[in-house]
Structure formats: structure tokens, C-alpha cells
Amino acid sequence: MRQKTSVRSKRAASSRKRPPGRPRSESIRVAILHTTLKLLGENGFSDLTIADVAARASVGKATVYRWWPDKAALIADAFSRSATPELHFPDTGSVDTDMSQQMRQLIKIFRSPRGRIVSAILGGGQSDRGLITAFRERFMKPRRQEAYATLRRGILRGELRHDIDMDLLLDSLYGPIYMRFLLRHDSLTAGFVDNLCQLVLGGARPIRNNNGRR
């Protein structure tokens, strides 16, 4: 009986063994992302290195490379994680309100200290195609997919034309924001966003005939 019990105990202990390799700690991953943002804000893109991030986060370079293939992917993920919770599109029942509220949140980020990070990413992306590609794929593309869903709801409610070019519409809405952010020729304000939405979305309304029918 004792021998059988011993065998069972060994089997149970064996089944509880961890798989080979160190478990990936979410807290370490978050610390790396947070550290990346701090260093990017302090030093810019060109001076940031994986070695610096690892040293400041008190981890080895191999730990960083477990999650990210290069610093471009790391930077894009770091910024995306910091901004995503604030940039979800609401569903208020009005495409105008949904878009303007999300765009207002975007300009808040651009006006905050994180605006320097966006500038570093966009500036560094002019000479490093990997950075701008990572930013586009890891940050902008998910936001774009949410925006498509918001516009489709507006189409189904009859607020927007069925044949509207959604990519052109989104570029017309967000392009002026990035232009003011980068060139700083005028202010990014809530009023600017509201006027922009009214102008652009107003041109995307269903066409009505003289009888008021669509």
C-alpha cells in the first residue's frame, strides 16, 4: 500500500511541474512598456535602445526580445497600450457624437505629454520604415477597424450614404488633426473637432430629392 501511495504521489508531483522555460510575467511586460515610454519621452527614437530599456526595467535583453522582435514593435505597443483605453469609440446612437467624442479624446492625448511620444514616433518613422509600419499596424489599424464599425452603424441608421468611401471619409476627419498636431499652425481644440465633424460628416449625408426623400 505504501509503495502504491508513493508512486501516485510522484506522478501527481510530476504533473504539477512547470513547463520548461521561465513563465512570462505580465507585470514585467507592463514594466517594460512603461519604461519604453519614459525613455522615448526623454531621449527620442534614435537614442532609444533595447539595452537601455532592459537596464532601466531591470531585466535582461532576452526578456524584452521574448515579446518584441525590435524596438519599433516595442515602441508601437507601448504607446498603443497607453492610449487604447481612452480611444474606444462610443455607441451613442449618433455617428456625429461617436466620432466627435473619440476625436476629442485623441487631441487630449496629443496635447498631453504623450504628444511628444507621438512626435518621436512620426519623426523617427520618416527614416525608419519599420517604426512607421509598426505604429500603423499596432496602433492605427485597430482604431481604424473600430471607426469602420462606427461608420457602418451610421450607414444603417441612414445618417450616412451607403456608397460612402469610408477610408476617404476617415482620412478627411483625422488628417486635419495630424496636420495641426505636426505643423502647429493652429490649435487643437474641442471646437475645432466639432466643426470638423460637422463639415466632413455633413458632406456624407444621404442625398435627398426635392420632396425630401432619399
pLDDT, tens digit (0-9, with 9 covering 90-100), for 189-208? 999 999 999 999 999 999 87
pTM, to two decimals: 0.81
Phi, psi of 119 (to 5 degrees): -60, -40
pLDDT, tens digit (0-9, with 9 covering 90-100), for 91-107? 999 999 999 999 999 99
Model confidence band, residue 46 (pLDDT cutoffs 50, 70, 90): confident
pLDDT, tens digit (0-9, with 9 covering 90-100), for 110-122? 999 899 889 989 9
Residue 1 pLDDT > 90, yes or no?
no
pLDDT, tens digit (0-9, with 9 covering 90-100), for 131-187? 999 999 999 999 999 999 999 999 999 999 999 999 999 999 999 999 999 999 999
Query: What average pLDDT score do residues 41-64 get?
Result: 92
Q: Using alpha carbons only, what angle is made at residue 31 by residues 77 and 89, rounded to the nearest 5 degrees?
A: 40
Model confidence band, residue 6 (pLDDT cutoffs 50, 70, 90): low
Q: Using alpha carbons only, what angle is made at residue 103 by residues 101 and 105, rounded to the nearest 5 degrees?
A: 75
What is the pLDDT at residue 19? 46
| Size of the chain, expressed as the number of residues it contains | 214
C-alpha to C-alpha distance for 80 and 65, rounded to whole angstroms:
18
For residues 21 and 147, the model is more confident at 147
What is the pLDDT at residue 209? 64
What's the longest Cα–Cα distance across the chain? 94
Residue 87 CB contacts under 8 Å (≥ 6 apart), including other chains: 102, 105, 106, 109, 143
Q: Percent of the chain at pLDDT above 90?
A: 75
What is the pLDDT at residue 9? 52
Residue-range domain boundaries for the chain: 86-202
Residue 95 CB contacts under 8 Å (≥ 6 apart), including other chains: 150, 151, 153, 154, 157, 159, 160, 201
Q: Which fold has domain 86-202?
A: Tetracycline Repressor; domain 2 (1.10.357)
What is the pLDDT at residue 18? 46
User: What is the chain's mean pLDDT, rounded?
Assistant: 89
Cα R_g (the chain), whole angstroms: 24
Beta strands in 58-176 (DSSP E): none
What is the pLDDT at residue 44? 82
